[in-house]
Structure 1
Amino acid sequence: MGVSGSNAVMGRRGFLCSCCGLAAWNLVGGLLTGPARATTADPALDAFFAKAFARQAAKSPELRTALGLPGDQGAWDDLSDAAVAADDAALRADLATLRRDFPDAGLSPEGRLNKALWEYQAEAKLSAARWRSHDYPTDHFNGRHSDIIDTLTTYHPVRDQAGAQAWLARVARIDQPVDQLIQALQVRAENGVIAPRFSMEKALATTRAVLTGRPFVANAAAEASLLAGFRAKVSALDLPDAEKTALLAEAETLLSTRFAAAWTRLAAAMEAVLAKADDRDGVWKLPDGEAYYQHCLSRHTTLPLNPTDVHALGLAEVKRIHAEMETIKDQVGFKGDLQAFNHFLRTDRQFYFADDDAGREAYIKGANLILDRVKQVLDGQFNLKPKAPLVVQRFERYREASSTIARYGQPAADGSRPGIYYVNLSNMKEMPIWQMEVLAFHEGIPGHHMQIALAQEATGLPDFRRHDFHTAYVEGWGLYSERLPKELGFYADPYSDFGRLTFALWRALRLVMDTGIHAKRWTRVQAIDYFVANSAFTREVAEREVDRYIVYPGQACAYYIGMQKILVLREEAKQRLGRRFDIKRFHDTILGNGSLPLSVLEQVVDQWVKEV
């Protein structure tokens, strides 16, 4: 599970992404402690932020596409070394300007917070340059190859003929992103930065799968997803049939020539790198691997955590949650130990929809019903609610085999695309009914959709904050959102409540496995065996999850760390405020400021408590 868009939307260029632990900013007295309000007290500073963001968007057509911003949509981001170096230079210049022209003494409290966060993000991005060559250009979970397809299939708008022509222009220019990706693959490989063999094999299979169907395979029974998606969008346009036919004909020609040639070249380059891959799984194998993992852990949690301490926390939480699970097992009258109960939940047919189209339709219908029910109780918990709609949708077929069980795709800022709760329905035996509630709450409402859509709609925040993404905050809120409905009467069925605990356990297990793989040199099989032995997930799910942790070091730890911080802040606020504690205002304080590093979030809540 996770948030799509955070990788695909940002590509490798990214916003001023959070890449390391927060410096010791002293922001008390400069915090927004409720719904975001406009920073009109600092018009010159606001203009600086707007100009910096506009310049970044001007350089990134993929960013404009993903966020629904105006401008040319027919090109690709330039991710060459020269372009990245120019971005770094521009960022350094902007940082110097900010510090020279906007001293704290002349700013409002909100302005000081905005300035500090922009400085933090800029410094984090620049300090992360040391590790830029340590990520895998392609792996089975992330990578530029996925970004390219996501842009063409999900994010690129085709609302009129101009949008369709821009899509065709992108296909015609496919050589640029593909050749830059091939170069990155080759340079990383020369330096020993290659994803493990299993990951490269999956990534290669996914890449080749893009070229299945017409027009890539003559006389194929079905169209390739790229052509089918474009056809569906063009068919919905208010254009004469002749113009639609011409657009589709051009798409077939470009896909079968330009795109097919470039994508075949990419597959060959990936195959050459695969030949050099090995079965060492942790990033300890990379140059300065231990320091790199510490960077990854700090980047995703926004805290200076020690891998040994995180591992110990995970072990303790696994033990605690197992005890709660034992209580539910006894409640339903199951005779046997927890492992036997997990096996029962994994294998009994009553807990699964049929593995056919009717079963998949029933799952999506059930997920929508759950979300409809929770929407009805939001007024008692939140003043802030998103305007963007949310839809439940199956993953694209070509990516199901290597994807996790669910994912959230953020809406377009201009309202042209809803938030999307993706579910992986390739194998219904991996999607038990007793996990439907918790999964919908995390990815949809009150989880990722609630938080991310609200951030995008917070017009009182500068653009760089509305679209920011700190993993520990975003995923911490997602995990908190799994727990909150328990307080509102959901999880009435004990099996569903056990499902809630399986997800909490899952994230505690991640603390153990992520640090085990990357700091303690666990093997892939060792991690999978640990996952299966301690949870109700199938081995197939365990394999997919462990494979994700291997190529995405540190990210999996952010969920539990973020949730713990929110729960601690809530309990401390309740103790300090007593009867004056208002859960709606607490939630508005957490959500009303966009994504924040955890240490800043702590100061936001502390200031709110003082104001109350």
Structure 2
Amino acid sequence: MNRTLLAAASSLLVPTLATPNALAMQTATAEATRSTASQQLHALFKKSDEDNLRRNPVSALFRGDMRYADQLGDYISDEYFAAEKAAAEAELAALAKIDRSQLSDTDKIAYDVFKFDKESELKGYQPDILALTVVRPINHFSGFHTFYPTFASSKGAAPFKTLEDYENNLKRHKEFVTIIDRSISRFREGMAAGVFDTKLTIQNVIDQLNLQLADKPEESPYYAPVLNFPESISEADQARLKAAYRATVTDDIYPAYTRLRDFLKNEYLPKAREGVGLVHMKGGEKLYDYLIEDTTTLPLKAAEVHQIGLDEVIRIKKEMEAIKEEVGFEGTLPEFFNHLRTDAKFKAESRDALRDGYYAIGKKVDARIAEQFSTIPESPLEIRAVEPFREKTAAGGSYQQGTPDGSRPGIFYYNAYDLPSRTTYGMETLYLHEGSPGHHFQISLAQENEALPAFMRFGGNTAFVEGWALYAETLGPALGMFTDPYQRFGHLDDEMLRAMRLVVDTGIHSKGWTRDQAIEYMLANSGMSRTDATAEVERYIAIPSQALAYKIGALTIQRLREKAEKALGDRFDAREFHAQVLMTGSLPMAVLEKKIDDWIASKEV
């Protein structure tokens, strides 16, 4: 071996002793690399969010960002979908250039969520999927005609504090009319392609439009803002705005509603499909497969989800039987269901009594909530009845998020329509789900956390959002709830609802169940009223797969809690676990599981 090779070989065997300066330089270089990766990541997040708000001005307005408040947005044009797809592709390409290994643990979670979200978006923008979705732009549960009246009424997200606010609302009305007319065009495209929505759904839309058109212009939610002006607006401007608001209702919005209604009634409804499930729609089976994965964030198939639901129904019925025996009811479980539906002691005496019951529940939860959560939302929670114009087809309860700064509260809506059908034994569970610590905690804590990138503060997936809310119901005993066996039964009844959804949604859309078949299944396995069961089934028909997210998400969170409790034993703290689940926003199920696994490992050291 010559001297050069010998020296080289020797250098491999003798360790190099780094000087303090060399170590410092290495450390500084590593930190600079990490800092650069983090800066690149957050710069991408910021640009993505800014671009998204420009394309989706309603999202900005819901946050209290008024920069685009004179716009409603375009949401169903070819140009809109092309822009959304191009943005997702560009952002994924930029993300791929960032070295994930150099990121902090929190930034790695953000990286993974962003990647998952954008890849999911692109699946929805594939031509074969878009061809099945954009041509059905409105149904009775999801459509601008259901969202916009409240939004523009001065009781929704749009503010009415200044003269500019009132002017902006008029400008948004013009874009709303464009969306309504463009919806007609989209429906026509579907007719030409042989892709139709259901007769049931379209008839419900027609009924909704008729209900709104029956209001005199001065009784319309669109006129409501000019019934109560702030003092800063002059009498002259008030008179001008009243005339303008009345004119936009009579000359723009009502004619647009009439055009849509007449088209749906005279042209579309006669050709709409009879079968209520996607299995009866051209391309429906492929669309349902996509929707299940998109909704649950897991690669599940309809048959698998259906079986999970059947198993859960069996488990819950056993627990219901135990409570039936505890309260001394002599009869079958279906007879007990009917007893709960019909006995006067389970009915609210009045709308005001129903409201006051929820107020009392809220105070009871507030007194114990700190025992389970280390961080409480700053945003207040308001309890409010569903508006008359939408209460007939609305769910029994719902939540509308507030603003991050708390200037607009979160709202828990309860439904008082057909009051005799609104049983009281499920009130505690409904409040826990829609209010605290359900949707209000999850959504508020995310958007109030300024350390998170905007897409994690304000974005989300249904499996996490609804899964958390269903999981929150299980915290009832820890919060002093369910001391009454009937309220415990109400909790099981609501859990049964979410289990039945797995069975019924997949039954309708993959097995060809009829509307009536689905309703009867729900009545046979729960204490639901026929009114509630009908509204639920028609919701599944209108928005396939959305209802699957609740139970799939909750089962995942419950399984992760059980894993943590088993691994940590006495060191398990529910407040810490809840912080791990909630304080990084809405996560896809796989990302959440990885986060909880890492947290458990860090506690076991």
In structure 1, the residue corresponding to 2:191 is in which secondary structure?
helix
The aligned amino acid for 1:297 is I
Match among 411, 421, 427 for residue 402 of structure 2:
411
Distance in 2, matches of 1:543 and 1:90, equals 40
Q: Offset of 1:150 from its aligned partner?
A: 4.1
Q: Please tell me whether residue 110 in structure 1 is matched to residue 112 in structure 2.
A: no
Distance in 2, matches of 1:608 and 1:113, equals 13
Distance in 1, matches of 2:305 and 2:509, equals 12
Contact 2:442/2:582 (8 A) holds in 1: yes
Residue 28 (structure 2) aligns with: none
Moved more, 141-150 or 437-446: 141-150
Quote the sequence identity (%).
Answer: 36
Q: Please tell me whether residue 319 in structure 1 is matched to residue 308 in structure 2.
A: no
Task: Show CA shifts across 1:124-164 (max 9, x none).
Answer: 11111132232331111112332433432322211211101
The aligned amino acid for 1:122 is K
Match among 165, 173, 178 for residue 163 of structure 1:
165
In structure 1, the residue corresponding to 2:152 is in which secondary structure?
helix
Contact 1:175/1:262 (8 A) holds in 2: yes
Residue 251 (structure 2) aligns with: 257
Residue 36 (structure 1) aligns with: none
Q: CA separation of 1:564/1:361 partners in 2, compared to 1, >3 Å: closer, same or farther?
A: same
The aligned amino acid for 1:519 is S
Q: Offset of 1:414 from its aligned partner?
A: 4.3
Q: CA separation of 1:40/1:162 partners in 2, compared to 1, >3 Å: closer, same or farther?
A: farther
Q: Offset of 1:499 from its aligned partner?
A: 0.5
Contact 1:137/1:144 (8 A) holds in 2: no
Q: Offset of 1:237 from its aligned partner?
A: 4.4
Distance in 2, matches of 1:302 and 1:69, equals 29
Moved more, 141-150 or 294-303: 141-150
The aligned amino acid for 1:196 is T
In structure 2, the residue corresponding to 1:226 is in which secondary structure?
coil
In structure 1, the residue corresponding to 2:476 is in which secondary structure?
helix
Contact 2:150/2:221 (8 A) holds in 1: no
Distance in 1, matches of 2:112 and 2:443, equals 21
Contact 1:66/1:412 (8 A) holds in 2: yes
Q: Offset of 1:390 from its aligned partner?
A: 0.7
The aligned amino acid for 1:192 is G
Higher helix share: 2
Distance in 1, matches of 2:514 and 2:254, equals 37
Distance in 1, matches of 2:468 and 2:109, equals 21
The aligned amino acid for 1:338 is L
Distance in 1, matches of 2:572 and 2:87, equals 45
Moved more, 432-441 or 175-184: 175-184
Contact 2:438/2:470 (8 A) holds in 1: yes
Residue 601 (structure 1) aligns with: 592
Gaps of 5+ in 2: 1-34
Length-normalised TM-score, structure 1 = 0.89
The aligned amino acid for 2:99 is P
Q: Please tell me whether residue 426 in structure 1 is matched to residue 417 in structure 2.
A: yes
Q: Offset of 1:371 from its aligned partner?
A: 1.1
Distance in 1, matches of 2:194 and 2:469, equals 35
In structure 2, the residue corresponding to 1:407 is in which secondary structure?
strand
Residue 12 (structure 2) aligns with: none
Task: Show CA shifts across 1:183-219 (max 9, x none).
Answer: 112112322332211111111111222222232xxxx
The aligned amino acid for 1:368 is Y
Distance in 1, matches of 2:55 and 2:150, equals 19
The aligned amino acid for 2:223 is L
Residue 56 (structure 1) aligns with: 52
Match among 427, 442, 452 for residue 461 of structure 1:
452
Q: CA separation of 1:596/1:173 partners in 2, compared to 1, >3 Å: closer, same or farther?
A: closer
Distance in 2, matches of 1:551 and 1:174, equals 22
Residue 507 (structure 2) aligns with: 516
Q: CA separation of 1:49/1:525 partners in 2, compared to 1, >3 Å: closer, same or farther?
A: same
Residue 307 (structure 1) aligns with: 302
In structure 1, the residue corresponding to 2:411 is in which secondary structure?
strand
In structure 1, the residue corresponding to 2:406 is in which secondary structure?
coil
The aligned amino acid for 1:96 is A
Distance in 1, matches of 2:195 and 2:377, equals 41
Residue 25 (structure 2) aligns with: none
Residue 206 (structure 2) aligns with: 204
Residue 10 (structure 2) aligns with: none
Contact 2:162/2:230 (8 A) holds in 1: no
Q: Offset of 1:538 from its aligned partner?
A: 1.2
Residue 24 (structure 1) aligns with: none
Residue 225 (structure 1) aligns with: 221
Distance in 2, matches of 1:476 and 1:90, equals 29
In structure 2, the residue corresponding to 1:595 is in which secondary structure?
coil
In structure 1, the residue corresponding to 2:66 is in which secondary structure?
coil
Contact 2:471/2:554 (8 A) holds in 1: yes
Distance in 1, matches of 2:505 and 2:486, equals 28
In structure 2, the residue corresponding to 1:142 is in which secondary structure?
coil
Contact 2:222/2:245 (8 A) holds in 1: no
RMSD: 1.7
The aligned amino acid for 2:179 is P
Length-normalised TM-score, structure 2 = 0.90
Distance in 2, matches of 1:571 and 1:212, equals 53
Q: Please tell me whether residue 289 in structure 1 is matched to residue 289 in structure 2.
A: no
Distance in 2, matches of 1:313 and 1:178, equals 40
Gaps of 5+ in 1: 1-38, 216-221
Q: CA separation of 1:90/1:568 partners in 2, compared to 1, >3 Å: closer, same or farther?
A: closer
Contact 1:76/1:177 (8 A) holds in 2: no
Residue 81 (structure 2) aligns with: 84
Task: Show CA shifts across 1:230-250 (max 9, x none).
Answer: 134x42443233322222221
Residue 495 (structure 2) aligns with: 504
The aligned amino acid for 1:167 is N
Q: Offset of 1:333 from its aligned partner?
A: 1.0
Contact 1:41/1:108 (8 A) holds in 2: no
Distance in 2, matches of 1:266 and 1:155, equals 25
Task: Show CA shifts across 1:21-71 (max 9, x none).
Answer: xxxxxxxxxxxxxxxxxx998223212211111011012222222222131
Match among 365, 385, 390 for residue 394 of structure 1:
385
Q: Offset of 1:328 from its aligned partner?
A: 0.9
Residue 132 (structure 1) aligns with: 130
Distance in 2, matches of 1:41 and 1:568, equals 34
Task: Show CA shifts across 1:458-495 (max 9, x none).
Answer: 11110011111211111111111111112333111111
